[in-house]
Amino acid sequence: RVNGNQIETAARPYAFIKFDTFIQKTKKLYQDTRTQRNIAKLNDELYEVHQIMTRNVQEVLGVGEKLDQVSQMSSRLTSESRIYADKARDLNQQALIRKWAPVAIVIGVVLVLFWIKNKIW
């Protein structure tokens, strides 16, 4: 990229002799044994980063699975709470009937007796 703009202006075959020195330096850099050790160290570190990222992705996927389970449990809990609310309403109605049914029956009997008494007299 450094010499990219010079490619179009090259009119003769040996126009890039200056660039050859850069290539030679880069070649020596990668052939140097100390550099090879550095590259090996860099590869080891890159491998460690790869392992850490793999672990992180696996943990995120595990969290996603747990979130799915929590979502399912929440849905179940919602439906069961609706059922519970319906049953609680029914029980309240039954308790109300049990509480006031005897009073209503007594009042009904008294009204029937008054009606019969008025019919007879």
| pLDDT at residue number 4 | 62
**Is 6 within a domain?**
no
> Is 55 inside any structural domain?
yes
- Count Cα atoms within 13 angstroms, Cβ side, for 94: 6
Q: Mean per-residue pLDDT for 19-36?
A: 76
Q: Determine the Cα–Cα distance for residues 99 and 93; give it in Å rounded to an integer.
A: 10
Q: Is residue 37 in some structural domain?
A: yes
Q: Note whether residue 4 is domain-resident.
A: no
Range of the domain at 38: 32-120
> Does residue 107 lie in a domain region?
yes
Rounded to an integer, the average pLDDT of 13-31 is 74
| Range scoring the smallest mean pLDDT among 6-10, 20-24, 36-40, 81-85 | 6-10
pTM above threshold 0.85:
no
Total domains, the chain: 1
| Residue 96, domain member (yes or no) | yes
* Residue position matching structure tokens 């319906």: 86
Give tens-digit pLDDT for 47-76. Answer: 999 999 999 988 888 888 888 888 899 999
Give the pLDDT confidence score for residue 39 in this predicted structure. 80
Task: Establish if 84 belongs to a structural domain.
Answer: yes
Q: Which residues contact 19 (CB under 8 A, 6 or more apart)?
A: 3
